[in-house]
Amino acid sequence: MKRSLKDTIRVKEKPGAGTESLPGDLGALADRYKGLSESELMMNLLTETRRRKADGSFDMESVRSGMNAILPMLDEGQKRKLYEIIGKMEKE
């Protein structure tokens, strides 16, 4: 059986539901980044990565664990993109 991201974070989708169906603050977080370009999203991600590395709250093992959880749900192009993003995070 193929897993989905929703299964991984245990979200039950309601008919017609949007970001309001996401748990906790994920809906607000999704709304915060809605409409940004890929380059803007990457800039935000790397800025946050640098900030968290500086304050000691960045945990690359947790990032890798999350990556490994979603890898089976991705096609080859998505996997390459994810590896590229993780590589950039590691270099920051």
Show me where the domains of the chain are located: 1-34, 36-92
Look at residue 8 in the predicted model and tell me its pLDDT. Answer: 52
Q: Compute the half-sphere exposure of residue 80: CA atoms within 13 Å on the CB side of its CA.
A: 2
Residue 2 CA to residue 89 CA, distance in Å, equals 28
> With pLDDT > 70 as the criterion, what percentage of the chain qualifies?
74
**9 pLDDT more than 80:** no
Task: For residue range 32-75, list pLDDT tens digits in order.
Answer: 889 999 999 999 999 999 999 999 999 999 999 999 999 999 99
Residue 84 CA to residue 17 CA, distance in Å, equals 31
Q: Which of 70, 55, 87, 90 is nearest to 2 (CA)?
A: 70
Both tokens of 35, joined, read 């409409």
Look at residue 16 in the predicted model and tell me its pLDDT. Answer: 45
